Chain A
Amino acid sequence: MQLNLDQVWGGALDKLKTWARVNSPWAIHYNSGSCNGCDIEILATLTPRYDLERVGVKLQGSPRHADILICTGPVTLQSRERLKRIYEQMPEPKFVVAVGSCAISGGAFQGCYNIVGHVDAVIPVDVYIPGCPPRPEAIIDGVVKLLESLKERGRVGERERAGRSAEPGAGDSETEEKPQQR
């Protein structure tokens, strides 16, 4: 009985947490060596024409307040440590969106002497948005895809909880399906 009650409350709490996370993604924007093309497009995304506040996105100045790190450009040798530090300063759960061709593969800067490479070489990335630069619609689409995957993760968490409390052995087989959690 006690176990059942725990499960019901835990499930409801998980649902509430996922709902809040999906509906209030606060972003921080970092340029790790981009040519500013993608940054202008991100600014255009946040202007009244597209108005991302209607889905709850807010640009934050402090990494401590942010959930999503929007990263543009290839990572230069100088900005590698700073990018890592900003990522480490963000509280869990945190997500990274790489915007533009350079953030995905190094783009036009590939092979330069002062480049580490793409963003994924330094910090783990959740969503890639291609384009040089991507249009605001593409950036919004990428953020929405990230939020959809968040919902999916919440559901997986619930299923796991149900499986674990039903029988102790059942949880182990499901860990294989579990998406990578950081």
Chain B
Amino acid sequence: MTGIWSIIALLFFPGGLFVLTCGLAYEWVDRKLIARFQNRLGPRWFQPAADVLKLLAKEEVVPAGVNPVLFKWLPVIALAGALTAALYVPMAGLPPAFSFPGDLIVALYLLSLLTLCTGLAGANTLDRFSIVGAVRTLTQLFSYEAPFMLALLSPAIVAGSWQTSEIIRSAGGQWILLTQPISFVIALIGLMGKLELPPFDAPEAETEIVAGALTEYSGRGYALFRLGRGVELVVGLTLVAALYMGGLAGPLDFALKTLGLLVVLALFQTLFARLRIDQTVGLWWRYGALLALAQMLVIVGAKVIA
């Protein structure tokens, strides 16, 4: 019985099909919101699905000078990492499909896998734009990763547990974002850095380096990377909403909270212009990491006194 349940969890809900559909839907909401903020009509509701299907049906060019095995398998690993992370977070407001003490850390590392694969994919090709893009992707990874981790670990320290469901239970429906506003903001903006959304899209700046690390990818590989990014958007939003907004009570609660966060992300994307890569690094290490550390010190101090 548990075997059948595991297969359903992997293939349909909450992993696999459900997260992929959710990722496409959230990508559309994101694009539509940005279009409306820019006074445009925006794409139709099936646009991300049509894009991915078209890319899957296209020819895949393997350029000269790459390692073909890495070239073909990196997109698969990236998508698999993002899909696996979905199993450890409370998707759709239901308890996580798999849970053990320490699953928060596993989910965070699985989410980083997509960025690492993008960097490797860029470094694998001989094209100069991909290599510049790969260097920028990895530089950005090292700048936002530490503050992002520190920010998401603050609620864990308060709860005294590394297990996502345990943290939510100990919060007891309280919105942690009211008591830890700094780490909430850092976590939300860290998510934008992770997804390379506009203020932090220097790694794929089309005005400078064509399409960044994924310049040489066409067809299937590019489709899988796009799907992975959609999945990561959903998983990241779920994680932030569950940890900071008093848990997710059910599907409706899940949709309201994550879509609310998505509106904030879309606003940030339309408001800010692209940062240079050195500005991104400076922002995260000079302000992000220090603020997250200060927040953590206050929490640890309060715990010691109490």
Instruction: Show the binding face of A for B, using Cβ within 8 Å.
Output: 16-17, 19-21, 23-24, 26, 48, 51, 53-56, 60-62, 64-65, 67, 89, 91-93
Contacts and interface: CB of A to CB of B under 8 A. Distances in A.
A64 B59 CA distance: 10
Interface string B45-79: 01100110110011111000000000000000000
Contacts of B38: 48
A55 B211 CA distance: 22
A165 B215 CA distance: 40
Interface of B, helix, strand, loop or mixed by DSSP: loop
Given A16-B53, A51-B42, 18 more contacts: A20-B50, A20-B54, A21-B57, A23-B47, A48-B39, A51-B41, A53-B35, A53-B41, A54-B44, A60-B211, A61-B210, A62-B210, A64-B215, A65-B217, A65-B222, A91-B60, A91-B61, A93-B58
Given A24-B51, A56-B47, A62-B211, A91 B40 contact: no
B218 A17 contact: no
A53 B47 CA distance: 9
A23 B100 CA distance: 44
Given A23-B46, A91-B58, A54 B41 contact: yes
Closest 8 CB pairs of A and B: A20-B53, A91-B59, A61-B206, A64-B218, A20-B54, A23-B50, A92-B59, A24-B50
A92 B58 contact: yes
8 contacts: A53-B35, A53-B42, A54-B42, A54-B44, A65-B211, A65-B222, A89-B61, A91-B59
B291 to A, nearest CB: 35
Contacts of B44: 23, 54-56
A154 B38 CA distance: 35
Contacts of A61: 206, 210-211, 215
Contacts of B218: 64-65, 91
A60 B212 CA distance: 12
B51 A56 contact: yes
B219 interface: yes
A24 B211 contact: no
Contacts of B217: 64-65
B222 to A, nearest CB: 6
Contact of A19 (B50, B59, B215, B216): B50
Contacts of B41: 51, 53-54
A159 B125 CA distance: 41
A70 to B, nearest CB: 16
Given A23-B47, A92-B59, A48 B215 contact: no
A19 B46 CA distance: 11
A23 B53 CA distance: 10
Given A62-B215, A91-B61, A54 B54 contact: no
Contacts of A60: 206, 211
A26 B46 CA distance: 15
A56 B222 CA distance: 17
A20 B57 contact: yes
Contact of A24 (B35, B47, B60): B47
B173 interface: no
A67 B54 contact: yes
B43 interface: yes
A24 B59 CA distance: 15
A91 B55 CA distance: 10
Contacts of A65: 211, 217-218, 222
A129 B46 CA distance: 29
Contact of A51 (B35, B47, B51, B214): B35
A100 B241 CA distance: 52
Contact of A56 (B43, B59, B211, B216): B43
Nearest to B57: A17
